Every structure is written in C-alpha cells, then in structure tokens.
Amino acid sequence: MKTLLRHSAIYLLARGVPGAVNFLAIAMFTRLLPPKEYGRYALVIAGSGLVNVMLFHWLSLSLLRYFVGSNAPLQLLATVRVAYRCLAALTAIAGFIALFWVPPDWQLLVAAGILLLWTQTWFEMNVQALRAKLAPVLFGLISVVKAVLTIGVGLLLIEWFPNALAPTLGHVIGFALASALVWGKLWSGVGNKAQINLLREVVQYGAPLGWTLVVAYLLGYSDRFLIAYFIDEHAAGVYAAGYDLGSQVIFVAMSIINTASYPLILNDMESKGVKAARQQLSRNMWLLLTVAAPAAGGMVIFAPEIATTILGTEFHETAIRLIPWIAVASLLNGLRSYHFDLAFQLSNNTVHQLWVMGMAIAVNFVLNLLWIPQKGIIGAAWATLAAYVVALLASVMLGKRFFDLPINWKAIGQVGVAIMLMFVLWHLLPPGSSVAQKLLNVGVLLSAYGGTLTLMAVRSSGFATGNRLQSGSTRRTIGRTPR
C-alpha cells in the first residue's frame, strides 16, 4: 500500500497539474469562443481521438503491457515505432483524400486534426513507455509541459483568429514539443527494424483491446456528433462543455490512481505471482472509490456553482443540468475501466472486453436516437448513464470467467456511508450566498467524509488489506492467467 500511495502522490502532480490546466482551458475557451466554434473544436478533438483509438492507441497499450519485464526493450520500441510510422503514412493518404470531400470551411480544421492525430499518438507512446519504466517524475514533466503549452499557445492564437483552429493548433504544438523533451531518453539507440514475432504478439494483445477502446470512445463521444446532427453545432458545443466539466475531475482523479497502480500490478504478476497481484488490485479499488466518490458527490452537490464559476455565460444553463448525470456516469465508467476491465487485460483475454463495450454502445446509440429528438441535450446524458451502468455490470459478470478479480466490499461500504453523510450534511448546512460560506460548506463536507472514513478504518483495524475479498475467492484459482 505504501508503494501505491507514494506513486499515486507523484502521479497526483504528474496528472493533477495537467488536469487543472485542462480545466482552466475549458473555462477560457468557452469564454473566448462562441458556442458554434467551440462545438467545431470539440468535434475535431473527438474525431481525431476516434481515429487515434481505432488505429494507434493499441500500440501504446501493448508497449506498456510488454515493456515491463521485457528482455529486449530496444527491439520492442523499434517494432512499435515502425508500426506507428506505417499507420501515420496510411492516415496521411486518407486525410489527403478527405480534404476533397469536406466543406471548404472545414478543410483547415481537418488538416489540423491530422497533425493533432500524429502528435497526440506519438506523445501517448512516450508517456506509456515512461510508465512502464516506472519514471513518474519524467512522466509528470512532459505532461505538465504539454498542458501548459496547449493552453498557452491556444490562447495566443485565439487573439489572432478566434475560431476552432486556434485551440486545435495549441494541442498540436503542445504534444509535439513535450514529446521532443524525451527523444534522447527513450529512443536513443533504437533501430528501425521491426521484429515480426514481437509485432505478432503486440497485435494479438493490442488489437482486440484497441477496438474495445474504439467502442468505449464512441460511447463517450458519439453523442456530440448525434447532437450536431439532430440539433446543431451550437448545441454540440454547449453539451461538450458541460460533459467535459462534469467528467474532467473524476477522470483525472481515477486516471492518476490507474497510472500509478497498473505497472505495480503487472510487476507483482511477473515477480510475485497472482496472490500478490490480487492484493494490489484490492488496494487499487479502495483508492479509486475513496478518491473518486467524493469528487462525483461534490460535482452533484455544487453543479450550479461550478458551472457559473468556470464556464462562459451561454453554457451555464445546460451545464447545470448535465453535470450531476455525467458525474455519476463518469464514476461508474472509471470503476469499470480502471478496475473490473483489468480482469480481461491481466488474463490476456482482451477480445472479451469488446463484448462488454459492444453491449454498452448498442444501448447508448439506441437511447440517443430515441431521447435526443424528444428530450434534447439532457437525453444524451441519460443515455450515457444507462450505457455505463450496462457496461459496469457486464464487465463484473463476464470478467469472473477469466480472472478472479477481488471486489473490496469493505471499501464499498465505508465509502457509501461517508458519501451518504455528505449528502445529509449538505441538506442541513445553510445555503452558501457568499464565496466564504460556499468554501466553508465544501470544507465541512470534505472533513465529514474524511473523518468518517478514518474512523471506520481505525475501528476495522486497517483498510484495503485484501484480507476480505470477494466471497469464494480463496476457493477458486485463476483461469488462464499468466504468472
């Protein structure tokens, strides 16, 4: 647990500072760009991200999975880089053809989106390699540099041309310059020849997981395109701002923990065996819930204050309605993605994870088609929540077949009691009419949450030790799980 907490503390800065900068970017861009231009910017980011997870992201995930304990790290890096270059060439050809099909006012945005695709995917390969090498400080350095350059260059360019192209180019420059900082550290001495055996192994592991992420990405972003289709780009921009604001804090918090814990889980699997990995997984679930649950609760309670403080005026009304639904959905999605889906990844059965997300995207798509025309933007939020509930339940039930993943019921109970106390106190506290009163209310709620968890932890003689795991976990062995 000490190692997990230490790495999480380091990654708190490594992920937290960029997360705070991204939070600031939402606030600034929604004030400086009209909703239509913000909507176009959001669609470019979503489109580039979709192509990323379709073609590239599996390379980064495979690099992380196989770099740990690899006997030939330079050959693995060379193989991954050759594959990246081939895919980049393919997207260059496809992007050039696409320029003749899009409207004239979208051509520059499409070209910028292609550059964004290349720089983002290369940056992701670099940070995953740093995670595998257990180098959180360098990971944090380039993450902070990327975030600061993204918003700084984006704001500078908005002064020259206040449209969607400006923040998009800010992302391109941020990713490119941050990646350049670790070129010598990671890629010095790496050759240009792919190892066929390594490539085959990477594809077998990463391709199913990559397509799973495609479905997951569609689950999170397809509603923006459907809103633009059924309503307009203005509505898509308003929805994207509220969605990102409701999910950003929770996503950053849970990704910090996953960034720290997953390499430790892999190391335990390779060096100590399954039992040690399961203990690490139990701690992982405890920490995910302890950190993310109050974040989601705070987003629900203080949605009006958060929306009116951070977003531009034209975004307020919709964001206030969206944030509570998206916050709860993001908590469930993070718990699935960063804990229960590990059953498929640790057992090398990533293809079955695709079935989980396939069910969820089907639910999401059907409900979006039904609810967006009837309920508007809020219908998309309801569809997202319903789909994430389906995904979580499916991951829990199907994952049991491949890996006896621990469910830390004690953590669920403790966090549940502390969250309920937060909501009871919220109704008892005087409404915050001033900034000082609002901050006092936040402090009281967080203190009550932390104090309740501490008291229960002391009474139960420790927390998340992995001694009380899922019922029957000691009676079964793990099927098809590598040591």
User: Which residue type occupies 448?
Assistant: A
The answer to the question of residue 285 being in a domain is yes
185, part of any domain: yes
Structural domain contains residue 450: no
pLDDT at residue 369, as a whole number: 93
Cα–Cα nearest to 61, from 218, 279, 177, 208: 208
According to the model, what pLDDT value does residue 1 have?
56
With respect to residue 93, please indicate whether it lies within any of the assigned structural domains. yes
Read out DSSP for 202-214? Answer: HHHHHHHHHHHHH
- Comparing C-alpha atoms, which of 381, 415, 384 is closest to residue 285? 415
Whether residue 479 is contained in a domain is answered as no
pLDDT at 387: 93
Task: Give Cα 477 to chain centroid, integer Å.
Answer: 31
Taking CB atoms within 8 Å and a gap of at least 24, the contacts of 379-385 are 380/223, 380/226, 380/227, 380/239, 381/243, 381/321, 381/322, 381/325, 381/326, 381/329, 382/325, 383/223, 384/219, 384/220, 384/223, 384/325, 384/326, 384/329, 385/325, 385/326, 385/328, 385/329, 385/332
334-389 tens-digit pLDDT: 999 888 988 888 887 777 777 888 888 899 999 999 999 999 999 999 999 999 99
Task: Determine contact, residues 225/43, Cβ cutoff 8 Å.
Answer: yes
User: Is the residue at 422 inside a domain?
Assistant: no
Does 259 map to a domain? yes
pLDDT at 2: 56
* pLDDT value at residue 10: 60
Report d(CA 59, CA 209) in Å as an integer: 10
The region that residue 477 occupies, defined by phi over 0 for left and psi between -120 and 50 for alpha, beta otherwise, is: beta
What angle is formed at CA 460 by the lines to CA 293 and CA 274, rounded to 5 degrees?
75
Q: What is the tens place of the pLDDT at every residue in 133-173?
A: 767 778 778 888 898 899 999 999 998 888 999 999 999 99
pLDDT at 434: 67
Residue stretches of the chain with pLDDT short of 70: 1-19, 68-72, 134, 209, 432-435, 457-483
Q: Are 125 and 84 in contact (CB under 8 A)?
A: yes
The pTM for the full model equals 0.66
Sign, CA dihedral 127-133-136-141, equals negative
336, part of any domain: yes
The CA dihedral of 446, 452, 457, 458, to the nearest 10 degrees, is: 120
pLDDT of residue 332: 93
**Number of structural domains the chain divides into:** 1
> Containing domain of residue 289, as a range?
2-408
CA separation (Å) from 27 to 38, 144, 319, 439?
11, 18, 12, 20
